[in-house]
Amino acid sequence: MKHPTRKATTHVNQNEGLIFEKSSAGKAAWKLPPLDVPEVDTSKLLGSSERKDLGNMPEVSEIEIIRHFTRLSTWNYAIDLGMYPLGSCTMKYNPRVNEAVARVEGLANRHPYQPEKISQGALQILKTLSECLIDITGMDAITLQPAAGAHGEMTGLLMVRAYHHAQGRPRKKILIPDSAHGTNPATAAMVDYAVENLKSDSRGMVDIGALEAQMNEDVAALMLTNPNTLGVFEQQIHKIADILHAKGGLLYMDGANMNALVGKVRPGDFGVDVMHLNLHKTFSTPHGGGGPGSGPVAIKKILEPFLPKPVLVTKTDGTLGFEYDRPQSVGRVRAFYGNFGMFVRALAYIQANGPDGLRQTTEDAVLNANYIRKGLEGTYDLPYSTPTMHEVVFSDKLQAKKGVRTMDIAKRLIDYGFHPYTTAFPLIVPGALMIEPTESESKEEMDLFIDAMKSIAAEVEEDPQTVLDAPHSTRVSRLDETAAARKPVLRWKPASK
Amino acid sequence: MKHPTRKATTHVNQNEGLIFEKSSAGKAAWKLPPLDVPEVDTSKLLGSSERKDLGNMPEVSEIEIIRHFTRLSTWNYAIDLGMYPLGSCTMKYNPRVNEAVARVEGLANRHPYQPEKISQGALQILKTLSECLIDITGMDAITLQPAAGAHGEMTGLLMVRAYHHAQGRPRKKILIPDSAHGTNPATAAMVDYAVENLKSDSRGMVDIGALEAQMNEDVAALMLTNPNTLGVFEQQIHKIADILHAKGGLLYMDGANMNALVGKVRPGDFGVDVMHLNLHKTFSTPHGGGGPGSGPVAIKKILEPFLPKPVLVTKTDGTLGFEYDRPQSVGRVRAFYGNFGMFVRALAYIQANGPDGLRQTTEDAVLNANYIRKGLEGTYDLPYSTPTMHEVVFSDKLQAKKGVRTMDIAKRLIDYGFHPYTTAFPLIVPGALMIEPTESESKEEMDLFIDAMKSIAAEVEEDPQTVLDAPHSTRVSRLDETAAARKPVLRWKPASK
Amino acid sequence: MRYLPKSPADREAMLKAIGMRTVDELFAPIPAEYRLSRDLQVPHQMAESEIVDYFRQRSRENGEGYASLLGAGAYSHYRPVIIDSLISRGEFLTAYTPYQAEISQGTLQSIFEFQTMICELTGMEVANASMYDGSTAAAEAVMMTVRLSGRRSVIVAQSLHPEYREVLATYATHQGMPLSVAGFGEDGRVNLKEMERSITPETACVLIQSPNFFGTIEDVAAIAEIVHKHGAMLVVSIAEAVSLGIVEPPREADVIAMEAQSFGVPLGFGGPYCGVIATREKFVRQMPGRLVGQTVDKQGKRGFVLTLATREQHIRREKATSNICTNQALVALMVNIFMTVYGKVGLKELAKQNLAKTAYAAAQFAKHGKVLFAASPRFNEFVVETKEDPLAINNRLLGHKIVGGLPLKKFYPELGNAALWCCTELTTRSAIDTAVALVAGADGSEPLTKEEPTVEEVAR
Amino acid sequence: MRYLPKSPADREAMLKAIGMRTVDELFAPIPAEYRLSRDLQVPHQMAESEIVDYFRQRSRENGEGYASLLGAGAYSHYRPVIIDSLISRGEFLTAYTPYQAEISQGTLQSIFEFQTMICELTGMEVANASMYDGSTAAAEAVMMTVRLSGRRSVIVAQSLHPEYREVLATYATHQGMPLSVAGFGEDGRVNLKEMERSITPETACVLIQSPNFFGTIEDVAAIAEIVHKHGAMLVVSIAEAVSLGIVEPPREADVIAMEAQSFGVPLGFGGPYCGVIATREKFVRQMPGRLVGQTVDKQGKRGFVLTLATREQHIRREKATSNICTNQALVALMVNIFMTVYGKVGLKELAKQNLAKTAYAAAQFAKHGKVLFAASPRFNEFVVETKEDPLAINNRLLGHKIVGGLPLKKFYPELGNAALWCCTELTTRSAIDTAVALVAGADGSEPLTKEEPTVEEVAR
Ligand SMILES: Cc1ncc(COP(=O)(O)O)c(C=O)c1O
Ligand SMILES: Cc1ncc(COP(=O)(O)O)c(C=O)c1O
């Protein structure tokens, strides 16, 4: 490339077919111990329910499986390899001690229905994590049951809905800023609320005037992300809360961006009634290629009766247990007690940090975002000059003149050894470049990122085609997503059939 | 490349500096628990022995360390990535269960000096593994103390030396075939024996005539590798043993190639008096970038008094323990009891295989070598047409005509997605291509290897320069080893100094 | 803090570059009155060794070392070691959702293989990349049929996992979808007549589980016939994935909602697990969750991408098929590796061992308690009714470090002193014998002798 | 067999390609009379779950859960979790010796960093890539001085680890090198006079250990002066690497032979550990073992290669500096990661904690036994002489799941009822107090009360 990068190069990389293409009858990666009870006659036991054939399931050996997945893994980018500046995703370091403690025998391999009296260890973890998250958010109570952020949103809105019902005046709609993440409106729809868009003002914050105008007795709640998806802190936050509360509405906060606030300010203190957290963002549990996550929902007292059941309680004898008799509960949102393994990791993260570490973490996250903003301001268009917290959003306005869009720049970043930033939203910024470095990036790594972005901007001027054709250094070039959607091939089929 | 390979391509790969280049005062990846005893005054306790400064030791954070070594790792080839056909190295699959059991608390974290009565678990492992290896080799006794093959060679020759001393007629020299691995002569020298070369016959086996001529009362032993480094089984093996024994000499077998024999034939049955095994070859313990290994030495009764101490014994009360009172012992060859962690892995490998698995493994290893020989015969010169066991040795004779040597072909293999074969020996084959696939390679992988080798042979005819300049697909091109040796830079130094 | 890659000097230099003097300036946008002036009330910063000790201690307080005969939606199967070796690779563990296909082919191809194997095992045509768990997958599957059928009421089998029923209720009631329950008969299976009676022209679907909560295998064909006759759809939930190795999958279903935890996912006190939805090709555009599809790059090279995203929240917002975003990707990878290890033959043999252990255990329990629904085919669970309260029995078992079956009173008061027991390939004969002896011991009959029963006995 | 990637059909096809009908033909070269017709007498093929159970059982029979106060050449320090996360990556674990530099840069660069850090810590100019362990490293270091000095006799300190002495004896005697021993004085350190007296014009080197086997720090400067005065070389063995964080390294040595096990290597019942040799640049060509050097590729890009191979067996055969081939690479990587984690400041703080725990323990033991060599500086070990036989004391401790100090009778009969105790950062105060109480209990004096001693007491 014209502008050589100090960050990456290319290296020989193994090809690998689909596992089915390696299968051959008689190969096996399994062996069962001898049966210590009598064999049984399957057909006698199962009759017509007996399965005879497992179709095209593969038959391969252990070494082939190790190589298959090891080779596949080398085709991925990962936090462990470098900066992963996806805005709103908070791709921070995933500590290895979290993985180690999550695998401790008595935590990894115990059944959710074993008697509470022999489950005090796990329950103690739920309790301690709950207390930590309650103090971090400044709320009064919490449920750890939701499996992810969106699931937490649903749980939160269900409580809002139950609350208004209990008040005897159910409401119809949820206000959602146009800068919101897609799960917010999708969630509102799932719990049968109408979605009403709320527009942002010129500084990228909630338009107070519009809010006052749109707020009425039909509005169940406002779903606000704070800092919002522009990385901007809603400075009028308390005014917003007042407007809602004045008309009996509730303030829901999408806590996806808590990485900008932990230890510095608490949503509970600025008027939030209900919020979710993403343990897989703020609290360092790994994204694992898309999940699992965990989306605890923290609430104010007024919503406590509506918590999903069961609720963790300390019993009269001082031991911990679950309370199932919760007449006003919205009910269960999933089986068992939530993604326990993520609770272990999140608590380990909190313990490794302590109060000082958490505060420093937040400060570094905000420092990093501002450093990148400073480094790229001028090179890329900054649609909102409002102060930046944990992430900064540029637009491709300048590059678009040359026909280069945010996705092209993103793909080009790959050649420079980085994972792209977020391009999908916020919708209020056409051609958005949404960049969140998190606290886990060193100055060295960020300087390389800034260099890369500047170098790409220069390429856009000198030879845009190089950028439009990117990536050039990957084992596959840009993939045809349109074709994939037009004639979906969603599974492998044997050539013969 | 003219001949595209189906095996590999190139992909973006992270650069990474030296850890020292990332260091900055105040960064840390460590934290100690609070001290539960009083602080101490270091200078008072240590006086002039107190160290004040740790020089240029790095200061970095945990995420930087994870990325540093993860990035470095992606620059390596490995068995987990593909075929590793290094002749004589037996690069077979390293089962992951071996790693799991080696890390079980009571095996990984126990002290070698803890009382024997609470060490029965570890001692039982030593005993069971010893019994397995004794039956596999057909010998009478064994020591697990040596840390690697060469260490085993030394241990074995020390026993040979002690044996001759005990006989009252010390001897001066060791006979070693010209096809032997470098450690054989090096070891003989280390135990103060003169090395006498023994030439091979036209079929690549020991020249019986020469042996008869050279054998006399000065010869302590013959160090024989069987199958030898050509992958050829010494068909006259018993004759060889007889010639030695007739003159009071001993037959030492280098067991590095046991992967060709396990379960099919036992050295103890064909006249071997002493031999070493490489657990990191035949018994699947990982090479780990060069070690650790383990080189047990199995012997016949006559050598038992000379075993290194301590020796594992079953005590009168039925428990296991070590015997230290061994007046004729050659002494210790290392502290403690050997590379215990490797014993655990080797035993797990034997258990996973059982008698049938071990036999099948040997058969597959020999089948694979013969399949490759068949596939490349004609394309590459085969200096010895004697039947092949676990490995096959070609020469670069045909390609040398175009000025392409074995090392060039080896480097070109890298572009085709394979690790090169062994080029360093056997010395009796100028320009050797020493190929050992092991049993761990599938037909698919070997067909790709054969294609690659044929394709390279074709390139040598069409445009040798491509081969001479290889590799082309790696993050660094061929490195200047001469310069490295002429002005050795063996450590990093701060630019300033 | 040891995770933070900055030295004081770095922070200084960066602040300087930004043109600020203090870190506080960075937080100026936050109204002063809300800024936190105190330390958070969380544990003090701990050393790694302290953290490990803390969780080891919790582990010891959590039934470490107890044998368990519990199933009921969470199953204890052996997890091949390579699962953790592979999912621990940073390239899988610390990657995000594979939106950027060119540097995510590893995750994408593995999901494509996952989708394929789920199809092979369930007999469906398409499967998604995962859902939160079996309970939410079931609820989302029901929502799917509501969208597909244009009908809004739902019938759920009482033999469906009670907690799955609760979750469905949570999802459905708040959307004003009428829910009715179809009970089970003497044989522990859905009461067909009762079910048929409750189907109305407004019935979007019937949701059943097979093997059901009692471990009994439902007559899916018969149920499907009735359901389809009335123009409704059939959703089948599968909670014990290993059953697919030996039990005919519910091919007649329109949608299958599965919990794949049995395939290599640790019990983990209830999560994270791995839900999946599989269905027919024609229904795919109403399917929730991510889907990976095959395509080609500019050179025509095979590659994989996330596809049909127009179903999803990040494109369709309030019109999406679901609000799900983050799923259970890494857990799905565990499942994928498990399915690959056992494969075509191993899964069947594994399932057979589960069957054998369970048949043996049921026969033993039958001597000292009543095994309910004994005539119906079952996989690896069975219900035993005892004179004594199962809670009392379980307390006795705990004394022997054995966790007994799940007392059903809580979910099915009508079943009285019944408990749900489970055996897998990991359940040892001696654990079974000990448990049986302890059950017997309290039932008046003499404790079992330890001698092995003959095959005839077992066959009975 | 589940590790073998072949189906029966594959084997058929391959045999056919080779032109053979049966597998036996492949083994025709082996004289029929030697071919094994029976199964090997090894355990039957076991399932992975059985293998795991087998070793878990052995683990339970191996002192699992006992606290230990043993040192003596093998030290229990905390191992940061990331060590195993990183060395478990297949690219490190399953790679061979990095002879093919272009696809081994990961291993090569990490060894280059290892060599650098060992130099920084030891104060030497060059270090090799590793030796088998501390004992063989010491022996090889001695051989090195024999080659360098042209002299053949060796003096070894009696305060060197007794097993290291045994190993040296094995290496030396069979090469006809005279060995003599230099005893230790009242202060537990090398008796300088005795040492000087035994030096002759034939003395190639003096080999000492510091901190020595008793944990006492030798006066290396004084020893070096004497040794060098007589034209001999000084080899210093370091068995407790963590001491380098707070103890001045033996910069006056000509060769340092180290055991780096303390740096992140599990105790593992004695191995694998990590030996390493460090020396001066001018001696490098007589150094055994692999060396990594920096160089450039054709484009001038920095890279690393194995270098100075002309010292090694695969090039020089019988003229090599040693026969070592396979070394301890993966263990050296553990050491490398450990050194990187603790680094410049952490290593010092870690060493300080070891010092503090040991000072506290020694002060406590001093109340109920005689702490020998008390006046000399020590790191984390100390010798306690008791009236009672330490074996009896240790049996009492075992009852409390504590492994007591190493009775020295076996190695030093002259020290009578003395035992060598060790404390590291992992030794808890309560373990120390319990041990002390149990020692005291038998010495007639009343058992210690559990109340914490005051700082004054400890300082005493
Ligand atoms: C602002 C915001 N809200 C909600 C979500 C949804 O959270 P989850 O993916 O955990 O369901 C995300 C995730 O990207 C987000 O960035
Ligand atoms: C034939 C032969 N002998 C001996 C050795 C030396 O064994 P080690 O490297 O374990 O010391 C090797 C190792 O490559 C070998 O191939």
pLDDT string in tens for chain B (497-residue length): 455 678 999 999 999 999 999 999 999 999 999 999 999 999 999 999 999 999 999 999 999 999 999 999 999 999 999 999 999 999 999 999 999 999 999 999 999 999 999 999 999 999 999 999 999 999 999 999 999 999 999 999 999 999 999 999 999 999 999 999 999 999 999 999 999 999 999 999 999 999 999 999 999 999 999 999 999 999 999 999 999 999 999 999 999 999 999 999 999 999 999 999 999 999 999 999 999 999 999 999 999 999 999 999 999 999 999 999 999 999 999 999 999 999 999 999 999 999 999 999 999 999 999 999 999 999 999 999 999 999 999 999 999 999 999 999 999 999 999 999 999 889 899 999 999 999 999 999 999 999 999 999 999 999 999 999 999 999 999 999 999 999 999 999 998 64
Look at B27 and C81 and tell me if their CB atoms are within 8 Å.
no
Q: Which helix (H) or strand (E) holds C440?
A: helix C429-442
Atom of ligand 1 nearest to the CA of A295: 10
pLDDT at C460: 33
Ligand 2 centre to CA of B149 (Å) is: 5
Tens-place pLDDT, residues C295-327: 999 999 999 999 998 888 888 888 888 999 999
| pLDDT > 70? residue D69 | yes
Among chain C residues, the shortest Cα distance to A227 is held by C30
In chain A, residues with a C-beta closer than 8 Å to the C-beta of C116 are: 18, 20, 56, 491-492
| A211 and A240 Cβ atoms separated by less than 8 Å | yes
In chain A, residues with a C-beta closer than 8 Å to the C-beta of C316 are: 182, 186
Identify the DSSP state of B35. Answer: P
Distance (Å, rounded) from C-alpha A170 to C-alpha B36?
A: 59
Q: Give the β-pairing of D302-306 and D292-296.
A: antiparallel
Distance (Å, rounded) from C-alpha C222 to C-alpha C224?
A: 5
In chain D, residues with a C-beta closer than 8 Å to the C-beta of A66 are: 90
Is the bond into A471 cis (omega within 30 degrees of 0)? yes
Decide: residue C337, CB within 10 A, 0-12 exposed, 13-18 middle, 19+ buried: buried
Q: Which of A230, A278, A421 to mutate to test the pocket of ligand 1 (most atoms within 8 A of CB)?
A: A278
Q: Which of B86, B229, B278 to mutate to test the pocket of ligand 2 (most atoms within 8 A of CB)?
A: B278
Tens-place pLDDT, residues A74-84: 999 999 999 99
CA atoms within 13 A on the CB side of B128: 22
| pLDDT > 60? residue C330 | yes
CA atoms within 13 A on the CB side of B222: 34
Tens-place pLDDT, residues A123-171: 999 999 999 999 999 999 999 999 999 999 999 999 999 999 999 999 9
Ligand 1 centre to CA of A279 (Å) is: 11
Look at B82 and A14 and tell me if their CB atoms are within 8 Å.
yes
Q: How many residues does chain B have?
A: 497
Distance (Å, rounded) from C-alpha A437 to C-alpha A446?
A: 8
Ligand 1 pocket list (CB less than 6 A): A 88-89, 148-150, 181, 183, 225, 229, 254, 256, 278, 293, 295; C 325-326
Q: Cα dist. C230→A44, C198, C224, C237, C250 in Å?
A: 33, 11, 10, 20, 19
Ligand nearest to the CA of C328: 1
Query: What distance in Å separates residue D108's CA from the closest CA in chain A?
Result: 16
The mean pLDDT value for D214-231 works out to 98
Q: The dihedral of CA D20, D21, D23, D29: what is its sign?
A: negative
Query: What distance in Å separates residue B175's CA from the closest CA in chain D?
Result: 12
H helical segments located in A326-480: 340-376, 397-400, 406-415, 443-462, 464-468
pLDDT at C318: 86
Query: What distance in Å separates residue A122's CA from the closest CA in chain C?
Result: 6
Tens-place pLDDT, residues C352-399: 999 999 999 999 999 989 999 999 999 999 999 999 999 999 999 999
Ligand 2 centre to CA of D306 (Å) is: 18
Atom of ligand 1 nearest to the CA of A278: 10
First to last CA, chain B: 45
Q: Cα dist. C401→B429, C302, C434, D50, D196 in Å?
A: 66, 53, 11, 21, 66
First to last CA, chain C: 65
H helical segments located in C162-258: 162-173, 192-198, 220-229
Look at B12 and A71 and tell me if their CB atoms are within 8 Å.
no
Query: What distance in Å separates residue B31's CA from the closest CA in chain C?
Result: 5
Among chain D residues, the shortest Cα distance to A30 is held by D2
Q: What is the ipTM of this complex?
A: 0.97
List, as one string, the DSSP characters of D303-371.
EEEE--GGGSHHHHGGGSS----S--HHHHHHHHHHHHHHHHHHHHHHHHHHHHHHHHHHHHHHTTSEE
Please report where in the chains the tokens 């104060």 appear, as a residue. D123
Distance (Å, rounded) from C-alpha D457 to C-alpha D370?
A: 16
Query: What distance in Å separates residue A165's CA from the closest CA in chain C?
Result: 11
Is the bond into B185 cis (omega within 30 degrees of 0)? no
| A267 and A261 Cβ atoms separated by less than 8 Å | yes
User: What are the structure tokens assigned to B165, written together?
Assistant: 């001393």
Look at B332 and D455 and tell me if their CB atoms are within 8 Å.
no
Average pLDDT, chain C: 94
Q: Exposure pattern of C412-423 as b/e (b: 16+ CB <10 Å)?
A: beebebbbbbbb
Chains that touch C (3 or more CB pairs under 8 A): A, B, D
Distance (Å, rounded) from C-alpha C34 to C-alpha B75?
A: 49
Ligand 1 centre to CA of C277 (Å) is: 21
Look at C85 and D89 and tell me if their CB atoms are within 8 Å.
no
Look at A10 and B10 and tell me if their CB atoms are within 8 Å.
yes
Q: Which helix (H) or strand (E) holds C209?
A: strand C203-209
CA atoms within 13 A on the CB side of D305: 24
Number of CB atoms found within 10 A of residue A461's CB: 12
Number of CB atoms found within 10 A of residue A6's CB: 13
In chain D, residues with a C-beta closer than 8 Å to the C-beta of C48 are: 78, 80-81
Mutate to test the interface with D, among A6, A32, A96 (most CBs of D within 10 A): A96
Cβ of residue A60 closer than 8 Å to a chain D Cβ = yes
Look at C9 and B97 and tell me if their CB atoms are within 8 Å.
no
pLDDT at C442: 58
Q: Cα dist. A154→A346, C21, C219 in Å?
A: 22, 42, 35
pTM score above 0.90: yes
A181-185, B136-140, C11-15, C451-455: segment of lowest average pLDDT:
C451-455
Q: The dihedral of CA B423, B424, B430, B432: what is its sign?
A: negative
List all residues 6 or more positions away from C122 whose beta carbon is below 8 Å from its beta carbon.
Answer: C238, C244, C249, C250, C256, C258, C278
> What share of residues in chain C are helix, strand, coil (percent, to 5)?
45, 15, 40
Is the bond into A310 cis (omega within 30 degrees of 0)? yes
| B286 and D330 Cβ atoms separated by less than 8 Å | yes
pLDDT at D458: 34
Cβ of residue C5 closer than 8 Å to a chain A Cβ = yes
Ligand 2 centre to CA of B102 (Å) is: 24
Identify the DSSP state of D282. Answer: G
Please report where in the chains the tokens 């079996």 appear, as a residue. C134
